[in-house]
Amino acid sequence: MKRIEYRHLPTTRTHPVGANESLYDNAMANLDRALALLDREIPHDWAAKLRTPKERTELRLSPQLSDGRIHTFRAFIVKHNDALGPCKGGIRMSPTVTLDDVTALAMEMTWKCALIGVPFGGGKSGIVADPTRLKPDDKQVLIRSFTRTAHRHIHPLVYVPAPDMGTNETDMGYIKDAISYSLGYATTQGSYVTGKPVILGGIPGRREATGRGVALAVAEVLRRRGDSLPGAHVIVQGFGNVGSVAARALAEAGASIIGVCDAYAAFYDARGLPLEALLSYAAQHGSLKGCRAAPTVAHAQLLEKPCDILVPAATGNQITGSNASRIKARYIAEGANGPTTPQADRILQRRGIEVIPDILCNAGGVFVSYLEYTQETQAEQMPLEEVMSRLERRMRERCALVFDTARDRRWTAREAAMYCAVKAVWQALQARGALP
Ligand code: NAD
């Protein structure tokens, strides 16, 4: 494969990037880099508006769970920027999620919505809880408690949540039900939440949209580079919604999945893994824990195995300054949000490894959420074929925008993606005028 030459870019970093990088540090560093690229286009006082979230809220949830006791959970909602439209972004449920993580993820949503071209701003929520330790009924109660407590924030014109790590389609159904219950109607007028079951106004293909979008982005970038997806060796980190669907879609396109892992187990076989067996085990057991369908490997080693395409689809900060020099992939397709730190980015860039950045690569989910939002607003139902063909067209168009910009300016794809996204948000801010 050809090495890609990048022009050295001056940065005016205002946010420190060190060994203990957080999602927030990394999001700010990526924004600083984009602002440096836009140096003569965005005045400094306006740049502060892009840096600072519009609203950060911390909530306390105190549901009574099945043990009869009141449990207290913290939750967060961040609305980063609504210049382009209502804030859009998933609900992360994790025992370690912080307000700063949610702020970083909300900011990423601002750029992602702008880049994929949907009329939404960026938002995100977090619930500090371990979904793997909650009984299904308790998780439902917690989700309903979140909805009730966050009610004043969730509205089709204000903030529209969706699934993220630790939450799913079923949870979004409970949110819709809790809202319609409190409004007093059987349903809601307009889309308060996306990623719902189809029977409740969801859209066919939303659950698969992010993973399918990852596979479409990979196919498009390889095509542009003259590389072939059939026969390519792929490793996928994370076997939840995004990772498992991306693995299946890439396998359907002819790639060989040689490594996968979730939080509990990692598998590797250079001759190809029995993907269907792994998928059905995960569907049956909720994870790959205890699966014996393939040879196992240590988690840290899996990321460093030779492959053509590495798909980090688990969580943030997985490819860092400490392991980037040992990554042997040719392409990294960021299914997760923020899996690569800026320090790792620089190492990968030097080594000629092409990164398909998260705000492009995993934007299929929010694009199909937008289709769900418009469908529900108009009380229509869109068939799966239409959803998939619109997703494919949009992923192709936006890959072309990012990779043409990167080629013309000799930037990395992340720099090009951030440049296009931040510029679009800035143009929307400008068009709205300087409000007092
Ligand atoms: P999920 O909860 O369905 O799955 C997460 C998977 O990652 C699970 O298999 C889990 O076991 C695994 N995992 C967690 N920590 C891990 C670790 N340290 N090492 C290996 N595996 C680990 O979540 P998801 O919806 O698939 O989201 C995954 C990522 O994709 C997140 O970063 C999320 O923000 C991002 N994302 C999701 C969507 C969406 O539509 N769901 C859209 C855009 C981006």
Atom of ligand 1 nearest to the CA of 239: 9
Write out the two tokens for 434: 């300087």
Tens digits of residue pLDDT in 335-387: 999 999 999 999 999 999 999 999 999 999 999 999 999 999 998 899 999 99
Query: Ligand 1 pocket check: which of 101, 216, 241, 260 to mutate, most ligand atoms within 8 Å of Cβ?
Result: 241
Write out the two tokens for 279: 């998928």
Which residues, in sequence order, are CB contacts of 205 under 8 Å at separation 6+? Answer: 212, 368, 384, 387, 388, 391
Instruction: For the chain, give the percent of residues with pLDDT over 70.
Output: 95
Q: Classify residue 60 as exposed, middle or buried by CB count within 10 Å of its CB (0-12, 13-18, 19+).
A: exposed
Active site residue 124: yes
Among residues 79, 88, 112, 124, which one is catalytic?
124
77-101 in b/e burial notation, b at 16+ Cβ within 10 A?
bbbbbbbbbbbbbbbbbbeebbbbb
Residue owning the nearest CA to atom 28 of ligand 1: 314
Residues paired with 256 in a beta bridge:
233
> 423 C-alpha to center of ligand 1: Å?
29
pLDDT at 416: 98
From residue 118, alpha-carbon distances to 86, 191, 377, 396, 427 in Å are 10, 15, 15, 15, 14
| Ordered structural domains, the chain, with CATH | 52-188 (3.40.50.10860), 207-356 (3.40.50.720)
Per-residue confidence band for 188, with pLDDT thresholds at 50, 70 and 90: confident
Which pTM does this prediction carry? 0.94
> 211 C-alpha to center of ligand 1: Å?
11
> 315 C-alpha to center of ligand 1: Å?
6
Q: Is 268 helix (H, G, I), strand (E, B) or coil?
A: strand
Which residues, in sequence order, are CB contacts of 239 under 8 Å at separation 6+? Answer: 247, 260, 261, 262, 278, 282, 287, 288
Q: Check: CB of residue 405 under 8 Å from CB of residue 416.
A: yes
Which residue ranges have their beta carbon within 6 Å of ligand 1? 163-166, 210, 237-243, 261-263, 287, 299, 313-315, 335-337, 362, 365
Q: Check: CB of residue 110 under 8 Å from CB of residue 342.
A: no
Residue owning the nearest CA to atom 5 of ligand 1: 240
Q: Which H or E element spans position 220?
A: helix 206-225
Average pLDDT score over residue span 243-270? 98
Atom of ligand 1 nearest to the CA of 262: 21
pLDDT at 176: 96
> 132 C-alpha to center of ligand 1: Å?
13
**Which ranges in 238-380 belong to alpha helices (H)?**
241-252, 275-285, 299-304, 342-350, 358-361, 364-377
Tens digits of residue pLDDT in 307-333: 999 999 999 999 999 999 999 999 999
pLDDT at 20: 52
